[in-house]
Copies of this chain bind each other. A is one copy, B any other.
Amino acid sequence: MSALATEQADFVNALNTELDSFLDRQRDLVSGISEDVAPLLDSIATLVSGGKRMRALLAYWGFRAAGGEAGSSAAVQAGVALELFQGAALIHDDIIDRSATRRGRPSVHQAFADRHAVERWQLDPVRFGDAAGILTGDMCLSFSEEAFSAVGTPTAFGTTARTIFNRMRAEVMAGQYLDILEEVAGPQRTVTGAAARARTVLRFKSAKYSTEHPLALGAAIAGAPELLLDELARFSLPLGEAFQLRDDVLGVFGDPDTTGKPAGDDLREGKRTLLVAFLRELGTQEQVALLESRLGQDSITDDDVASIREALLESGALAAVESEITALGTASHAALEELPIPELAREALRQLGESAVKRQA
């Protein structure tokens, strides 16, 4: 194993250990109230045991890029906070998007609804599942902040790291709202503005939060000056945008066996991504009419999904997004090479960047 791979594996091990022990402590605390509460903790633990740890790794390499020491517990703790925040976002996102699966397993609210059915409880399993999912997500969001504060002095009130953390949370929630707003209000709004609106959503809902903020958080915890944070963003923001565009493509064209989500999931959910915006601009009248009549409808069929995919291909919408992914990847890569950071961190970020953009799931 290379020095980089060893260091990264050590970090991931430490992260997983700390995540487990954090959740164990919380489980002990709430089990004192009632054993019945344990499923909330279990569902959080199951959810966060999966995932690629991309945000935690970006925080770690941001920390190292800014001169932080290998194996620092502050970086591990920040990674725990980010993974828990991501967990909270996913739990609520899956309720909002009515996603029954996540990482190849039942999503949190779905698992609660399933349990309701198995136990033959009263009233409505869907309502119970949603309610339990909302509460589990709230708990996970609180835990995330608890873990973040536990970094200690580097994340105390008034620090750059805390400012980034606060901004990250508000921006993600704002971006998610813009996403669902566009689902319902988008059809009435201008076609010419659709791409700009989709870009705003992808930037705030995902790009900044998936790459820019985690990297900056880690760097800020290591004491990075503002200038370095700005330079890091020149690498991480286009990377995050490329990452989300790749996600958008996978959301329509991805293989369910690899993504762990149903085929064409984004079309069923009615997501108005850049792909959709480009189809509205570039498609024939017929293609656009098909899109507008089927997108997000409960009654959307596999055939509809296949037809919209075909339209995305034929209209050039997919090619336009792919070319944007390539351009963003190139810009990100070029910025990375310019960064005044240790070579080990640069190489790690290079690898993370590649896997974020080229992934299949």
Contacts and interface: CB of A to CB of B under 8 A. Distances in A.
B36 A123 contact: no
Interface string A218-249: 00000000000000000000000000000000
Given A123-B270, A142-B141, A30 B134 contact: no
Interface in A268-293: 270
A33 B128 contact: no
A154 to B, nearest CB: 10
A183 B123 contact: yes
A122 B33 contact: no
A138 B173 CA distance: 7
A169 B188 contact: no
Interface in A295-354: 296-297
A120 B146 CA distance: 41
Contact of A166 (B120, B136, B146, B180): B146
A139 B183 CA distance: 20
A26 interface: yes
Given A37-B177, A138-B141, A142-B169, A121 B204 contact: no
Contacts of A188: 119-122
The secondary structure that dominates the A interface is helix
A187 interface: yes
A92 B134 contact: yes
A126 B180 CA distance: 13
Contacts of A146: 166
Interface size class of A (residues with CB under 8 A): 35 or more
A70 interface: no
Contacts of A96: 130-131, 134-135
Interface string A23-49: 000100110011011001000000000
Task: Please list the 3 inter-chain residue pairs (A to B) with the smallest Cβ-Cβ separation, ordered nearest first.
Answer: A121-B184, A96-B131, A142-B169
17 contacts: A30-B171, A30-B174, A33-B174, A33-B175, A34-B200, A37-B174, A37-B177, A92-B135, A119-B185, A121-B185, A122-B270, A123-B297, A132-B180, A134-B134, A141-B141, A143-B170, A149-B157
Interface of A: 26, 29-30, 33-34, 36-37, 40, 88, 92, 95-96, 98, 116, 119-123, 127-128, 130-132, 134-139, 141-143, 145-146, 149-152, 155-158, 162, 166-167, 169-171, 173-178, 180-181, 183-188, 200, 204, 270, 296-297
